[in-house]
Structure formats: C-alpha cells, structure tokens
Amino acid sequence: MEKIFINTPYTKSEILVGQSWDSVSELLPEAGVVILTDDNVLKLYGDSFPDVPVLSVTPGEVSKKLSVVESLAAKLMENGIDRSGFILAIGGGVVCDIAGFLAAVYMRGIRCGFVSTSLLSQVDASTGGKNGVNLGSTKNMIGTIRQPEFVVCDPSMLSTLPDDEFLSGLSELIKTAVIGDKDLFEIIENSRKEILERDSDMLTMLITQAVSFKSRVVTEDEKETGLRRILNFGHTFGHAIELQRGIKHGFAVASGMELATEFSCEIGLISSDEKNRIISVLNYFNLLEQQYITESEMEKLIVHDKKKTGASIHFVFTEGIGKATVKKITVSDILDFYKRFRQKR
C-alpha cells in the first residue's frame, strides 16, 4: 500500500493506493457518518458498507445538479448530521464530486472522505479537492475546492467496472502521462496487454504514479492559478464534445487530447513522431471514435468554458511527451484550428 499526501496551507489529504476498501471503517469518526453512493455501487458493495445511514443517487451526470444536492442536504438534516458530521463517498467521479460539494456547503462545511471505485476517479477525479455540479449544459460551473481527509484507491474494485468505464478512466491516466510523466507513458505503451487484463500489480503502480504527479501539482497550486491548469489537457474540446454527444468523460477527453496534440504539432510545439505516438496509444485502447461536433456547436459550448477570461482561454498544449505548457489564446484561434481540423477529416 502506498500513502501519498497533498499538503495545502489549510488542509492535509491522504491518498491510500492499494488499501482494501472495506478497511475504511478504521478511518471514520465514531459517530455522525453518512455514506453517499450511487445505485450501481450500492448493489455491488452495499452489503459490506459500514453500518451507517446510506444515501444513494442515480448513476451518471444526471445527478450532478443543484436539485440533487439540495435533496441530499435535506436528508443529512433528517439523519441529524450537524457540523461535526462526516460524509463518506463510495463511488466514482460523479459521487465524489457531489459528496465533496455537499460537504463544502452543508452547514458551511463538514468533513468528508472517499472510497474511489472507478479508474477515472482513482487516477484523477477523487484527488485534488475540485468538486461541483453542472449548470444546465455547462460542466462543473458551480463548485468549490475542498480536500477530502482521505481517498482510498483499491485496484481490486476495478474488476467490476464495465469495459467502457475502465477505458474512460484509462484516458485520464494517459493524459497524466502526456502532461507530466514520460516514464509513465512508456510503461503504458509497453504494458497494453497487462492493462487491458486489469493486472492488479500493474494498475497499482500506474495509479500510484498518476496520483503522485497530481498530488505534487495540487500541493503547489491548489486553486488553479498557474501550474494546475495543465491538468486540463484535452478538456477544452473534451468538455464540449462530452456535453454535446453525451458520451463518457474519458472518451470525450481522449478526443480533446487528439485535438490538443494536433494543435500543438501545428504550431511547432511537438514533433510529428511524438504526436503519432500519443494518438497511437489512444487508438490502441479504442478511445477515439470520431465524436467530433460541428463548428457552431463547438463555438456555443466553448464560450461558456470555465477557463475563458474575456475573449481568451488558458489552453493546454503538449511540448513533447511528459511536458505541457499553458498559453492564453483567443477563442477565435481555437475555433479556427477546429475548423481546419474538421476540413482535413
């Protein structure tokens, strides 16, 4: 088991990679705990949950809205949860997002911890404290940054994931390698069979490297005013594609990464060889399924991107495998590239 820490000026978060999830009771306070999960996870693991009240939501993005948070807050009150309370999220990225947001706003803030059940959540979503809900068709527009006290990442839980959920998480793992860990990218390139077979030792190593990188970034820049922006690689285009096509987050981000990589190559930041390596890995895992949207759809969604300031966006480029850079460019430049890309297709 690996312990990784995020230390910020106000909080300390502990990520436990390889710890058995059913030992989570040892990390909980003696009273005032409520579990938040979704219906799928409840069916799979509910019989082994700690003996505390359980609140369950509908799986997926449909639950990431203020009305759900309001309903959950009312249920916390019904269960007598006060400012000493604790929310334990057991689920993937959506559940952790909702739980973190609810913990941040309920009675102006209570404690929380996560058992992360999906690959996407283990390598990315549950670490770093960013959480929120969608506003209409705009992702994560209402949210906070609040670190969980702990995150348990048990790779054995990944064996129950549907293939598309597993691959969706793998996309975020590849993203981490592209922006900050060349060695991790090479391991992914050379271990494709073990990854698809969900080899537990291999996944533990990959998750540990991804979380270690993200923890360093978040410790340096918790509020995303500088370095942390690189974690949005592929997300400017990806969020738009996700919302318009209704596909899983990782597949949309993979398409966004392809676009960002092509854009990086076009302006001379990355070689054709490295561009092809990145796109080859995405294709090998069947993450690119031609999910592109029209130019007018892309424009409508990008103008609401959270990274937009005025007429510009902080856009993440790759300068080579393992290195990323953020450049403030105009929305029109992004859309002009997108038009050229679609014309080539």
Query: According to the model, what pLDDT value does residue 291 have?
Result: 75
What is d(CA 147, CA 14) in angstroms, rounded to the nearest whole number?
9
Can you list the domains of the chain with their CATH numbers? 2-160 (3.40.50.1970), 163-344 (1.20.1090.10)
48-83 confidence digits (pLDDT tens): 999 999 999 999 999 999 999 999 999 999 999 999
Mean pLDDT of 194-212: 96
Q: Reduce the DSSP state of residue 83 to 3 states and report it.
A: coil
Instruction: Please report the pLDDT score of residue 41 as a whole number.
Output: 98
Q: How far does CA 271 lie from the centroid of its chain?
A: 28
Q: What is the pLDDT of residues 309-323, one digit of tens each?
A: 778 999 999 999 999
pLDDT for 246? 87
Return all residues near 131 (Cβ < 8 A) that are at least 6 apart: 96, 97, 98, 99, 100, 101, 104, 143, 144, 145, 146
Q: How large is the average pLDDT for residues 198-212?
A: 96
**Predicted TM-score of the model (pTM):** 0.92
Task: Please report which helix (H) or strand (E) contains residue 135, including its range.
Answer: strand 130-135
